Amino acid sequence: MPDSYNVAIMGATGAVGTELVQLLEARDFPIKSLKLLASPRSAGTQLEFKGEAIAVEAVSADAFKGVDIVLASAGGSTSKQWAQAIVEAGALMIDNSSAFRMQPSVPLVVPEVNPDAAAAHRGIIANPNCTTILMSVALWPLHQIRPIRRVVVATYQSASGAGARAMAEVEQQARAILAGETPPTESFPYPLAFNLFPHNTPINEQGYCEEEMKMINETRKIFDEPGLSISATCIRVPVLRAHSEAINLEFEQPFPAAEARTAIQQAAGVKLVEDWQANYFPMPIDATGQDDVLVGRIRQDLSHPNGLELWLSGDQIRKGAALNAVQIAELVVAKQWLKSPAAIAR
């Protein structure tokens, strides 16, 4: 097993890409070389890694030669465009887009939940949707104690989910509105500053948007529970970074809140944040920049004997995207699950 790896980040200049660069450095991922790839617009831009400036390159098939791991976060169409070239170059693609998540041959991995699924990869491992990752790490420890029968979730999603430009746009909107001017709306269909709206992804014939269907289908795949009942309502809120979720759970049996609290305290990837006296619970401001998903306000559902309510906030760019991808890379390297194209073809 090599003791260090040639890594490329596709989408290195974006909100998640820049976080990937920082996390690889902060977590001391064993890197032999780091390639930073983006669109031709960014070619030549310098980004810093371990005190050295690295010039961003435009993505090309040649760029993947000799690369062991590609962390991709440049949108679904870019992932689809380059996946074959990445796999043919012998690299493992850890893909942050939704392009391959529901393909049966592509593992969809949250390392705290289903690490072993990664072993079966055929050159691509998908990083789940951000709200799905945050919900999965919070629900999995409870599901291990008493099976969850039904999940009803409402999300409060920050601008960061739509990328770096969208975050800047919310700030511009706030300034424009305060100055009495018309706010710019390029990344979003409506002003998000001082407003909120249902998630702006296409709506299906049942009335669910794409983001809601991702939460439903991806959670079932990650938990390996194809029949799990889930309903979701996804809302964008004028928060810059970190998503929050109000989650109602129905278990097969009553689940005492105190026991759920202990389970969250003991689980990896989550942190119990509750001060009932001070009315202090998870907030996106506190979740920002943190690895753990903050979980709190765990209480019995007054409307159902087997019900629990909980509230969480988690950094969408970190655990919801970049951190989860880096954890997958760490897992694959630790378990020696990198495969040659010949091994994948067998």
Where do contacts with ligand A2P occur on this chain (CB under 6 A)? 11-17, 38-39, 41-42, 59, 74-75, 78, 163-165
Q: Whole-number minimum distance, CB 328 to ligand A2P, in Å?
A: 18
Query: 73 or 155: whose CB is closer to ligand A2P?
Result: 73
Spell 212-250 as b/e; 16+ CB within 10 A means b.
bbbbbbbbbbbbeeeebebebbbebbebbbbbbbebbbb
Q: Which is nearer to ligand A2P, 16 or 137 (CB)?
A: 16
130 in catalytic set: yes
Residues near 179 by Cβ (< 8 Å), separated by ≥ 6? none
Q: CB of 223: closest distance to ligand A2P in angstroms?
A: 27
Nearer to ligand A2P, 230 or 321 (CB): 321
Give the shortest CB-7-to-ligand A2P separation in angstroms. 16
Q: What is the dihedral of CA 337, 25, 167, 321, to 10 degrees?
A: 20
Q: Choose between 16 and 23: whose C-beta lies nearer to ligand A2P.
A: 16
DSSP of 133-187: HHHHHHHHHHHHHS-EEEEEEEEEE-GGGG-HHHHHHHHHHHHHHHTTPPPP-SS
Give me the catalytic one of 121, 130, 143, 199: 130
Closest CA to 255 of 303, 298, 308: 308
User: Is residue 243 among the annotated active site residues?
Assistant: yes
Task: Give the separation between CA 300 and CA 248, rounded to whole angstroms.
Answer: 10
Q: C-beta of 20: minimal distance to ligand A2P in Å?
A: 10
Q: Among all residues, which ones are annotated catalytic?
A: 130, 243
